[in-house]
Amino acid sequence: MPALTVLLTVGACATQERHAARGTGPHPMGSAGAQRGFTLVASGDVLPHDSVIRQAGTDAGGRGYDFAPMLADVKPVVSRADLAICHMETVYGAKGNYTGYPSFKSPPEVAKGLRATGYDACSTASNHTLDDGAAGVQRTLDALDRAGVRHTGSARTAAEARGPAWLQAGGARVAHLSYTYGTNGIALPAGKPWTVNLIDRNRIVADARAARKAGADVVVVSVHWGTEWQDEPDARQLTLARELTAARTGPRPDIDLIVGTHAHIPQAYEKVAGTWVVYGMGDQIAGDMINQMGRPDPRGNESTLARFTFAPPARSGERWRVTKAEFIPQWYDTATGRVVNLNEAIRKGRPVTAVRDRIRKVVLSRGAGGDGLVMGR
């Protein structure tokens, strides 16, 4: 949530060129830049359980933690996007005090791994944001800053909480906002009610409108919501999605894309009032999961990468349009400690077709295929 004048420049396709083009100062956009479209990739919960932390320690060869190897299989998809957004569900610990469920404190090296994979920004509002109080939020956002990953949803100061994460993608100025349904009953820190953004329909719309007024061409909202272990979006998700996509100022909707997390499993994509909503992307990184019935549930390691291609408007002041909507099925293989791009794995002969097909069925369960959603690679 940097100041309005602080932008993240995201260049074009080649990863090295793209990363070299990034900066932290304002970047004027001339008429040529304004005509460039962009691709946006978003992914689900990064939830390092104890087993994930141990894997990162092994991958670092006993010298700290390295989370990049477990994401290597999806790096080509993430790094080739003009803008890539993750969801950092947990906060970071310090001096080796790292824990998994139920009160998460992850190694700060997670941030380096996300950056190495190609992520530009993370949503940080979740039910685990206050697992280590304001100190945990401070450490997390400090580590993301050091790694060069923007963030939104939690804050160290009231001033930081007032704005979105500002990003640049193609010719578009993008505002990223993030909210959670709650914090597992943990009270907001005394005197710091702004530490994490809680879901409130009126506030989300007001924040989106403020971002638009401040110059956002595209407004992306990340929401930590829904019922855990439920394939279908629940009534609150459906209601909030309708309310948020209906909000308009003049000819444009106030929000251009909604991406959801929290349910642990993939949920449907749906076009609502002309705006794409991803109800749940699932856990991108998590250990072996136990569902609400107390049983091991492999669905907790299934997820999707959402990829949307945005095109600039024909006339100034009109909406940036999504011209292509895709989902890419992925799976965290707990046996190897690796995220797997399922379509690529199937192409190479790995017997994971049933996992891929289950994800596809859920993603398309609300008719998104009829609105043009396709499975990507």
Query: pLDDT tens digit string along 64-106?
Result: 999 999 999 999 999 999 999 999 999 999 999 999 999 999 9
pLDDT of residue 8: 39
How many whole angstroms separate alpha carbon 363 and alpha carbon 149? Answer: 28
- Name residue, tokens 């992520």: 119
Q: Which residue has the higher pLDDT, 3 or 222?
A: 222
- Cα-Cα-Cα-Cα dihedral sign, residues 259, 261, 267, 272: negative
Residue 192: closest CA among 158, 164, 162, 151: 158
- Helix or strand (DSSP H, E) at 129: none
pLDDT at 132 over 70: yes
pLDDT of residue 230: 98
- Cα-Cα-Cα-Cα dihedral sign, residues 224, 228, 229, 232: negative
How many whole angstroms separate alpha carbon 1 and alpha carbon 311? Answer: 25
pLDDT at 341 over 80: yes
3-state secondary structure of 306: strand
How does the average pLDDT of the chain come out, rounded? 92
3-state secondary structure of 213: helix
pTM (2 d.p.): 0.92
How many whole angstroms separate alpha carbon 312 and alpha carbon 248? Answer: 19
pLDDT at 17 over 60: no
User: Domains in the chain and their CATH numbers?
Assistant: 9-375 (3.60.21.10)
pLDDT of residue 294: 96
Strand 321-333 vs strand 373-375: parallel, antiparallel, or unpaired?
A: parallel
pLDDT at 367 over 80: yes
pLDDT at 1 over 70: no
- Name residue, tokens 């939690």: 154
pLDDT of residue 40: 98
